[in-house]
Structure 1
Amino acid sequence: MTLDITIEDSRWQDAGLDALAGEAVAAVLAHFSLDPEECEISLLACDDLRIAELNAEFREKDKATNVLSWPAEDLAAEEDGSAPLPPEADFTGEIALGDIAISYDTCAREAAEAGKPLADHTRHLIVHGLLHLLGYDHIRDRDAALMEGIEVLVLGKMGIANPYMIEDAS
């Protein structure tokens, strides 16, 4: 697998991003029976300032976010709740999936607010971003249910609790 990681914020290095990203990407690719040796993904590990710039440039949203994705090709299903098209290899045999950016500041804040380990939330966001590269989305209701179901399944295989389960504080 070609997982090209660019670390702009050294806190990601301290958090062990290389291993976390490798684990998350491998779990998603295995779920879809994609050969890791054929897949190509770029990951930018940055801070809120950088991701806010990217969010403004590409989504016209002037604020930081946790993760952004840029699929190499549009695989999205036309019908709400249908599976996206599978990615195909190019003439060299490689499957270029696209690029993901993740912000340390937002990820760490969300993990702390939810009382979750940073490592678990990081893997969740990378799984989420990679699913976007594979054509999944959460804008339409049935698409969101499909995407979240896959996230829960993949994360569960990594020993991570359902991130969408709200615990009862009583």
Structure 2
Amino acid sequence: MLKSASKKLLTVGIIASSLVFSSQAAFAQTTISETTNYNDDYYVAQPIPAYGDIAKGTISSPIDKDWYSIQTGPNDGGRTMTVFLQNPTDSHYIIIVNKNDASPVNVTYLNPGNNNDWVMFTTEANTRYNFGVIRSTNSNFDPNAHYYLTPNIF
């Protein structure tokens, strides 16, 4: 009985510590705010420090584009990255994904069944990915309404 309880406790400890220490997302959930007039093109994309961090921004005009970036690490090749865009009410924005050299990234669109946008793709190691947030054609926009963009890796 004591041996069985010790094994269970040890197993729970191993699982908990592996979840905490093997995932950057365990330490994430920092919200960064858009830097006004700084992130309007992919080559000056605003960095998102870690997977799971949230970029908060606004689309300030019908032609505004906001760009964010994240850098993958040496062990991130072949992993799946998802990027979730929570749109403001009554507006529909979309995500564009490219690499630092502006080459497009093949993404799979995951339809969450509402006004939000969600994509996934397979990552390469040591690569900067850029995420553009733009207004969908014929969509309303409110320059005071915030969207939230979150990249995660699995």
Report the TM-score when normalising by structure 2.
0.25
- Give the number of the structure with larger relative contact order, counting CA–CA contacts within 8 Å between residues 6 or more apart: 2
Point out the structure with the larger strand share.
Answer: 2
Point out the structure with the larger helix share.
Answer: 1
Highest Rg: 1 or 2? 2
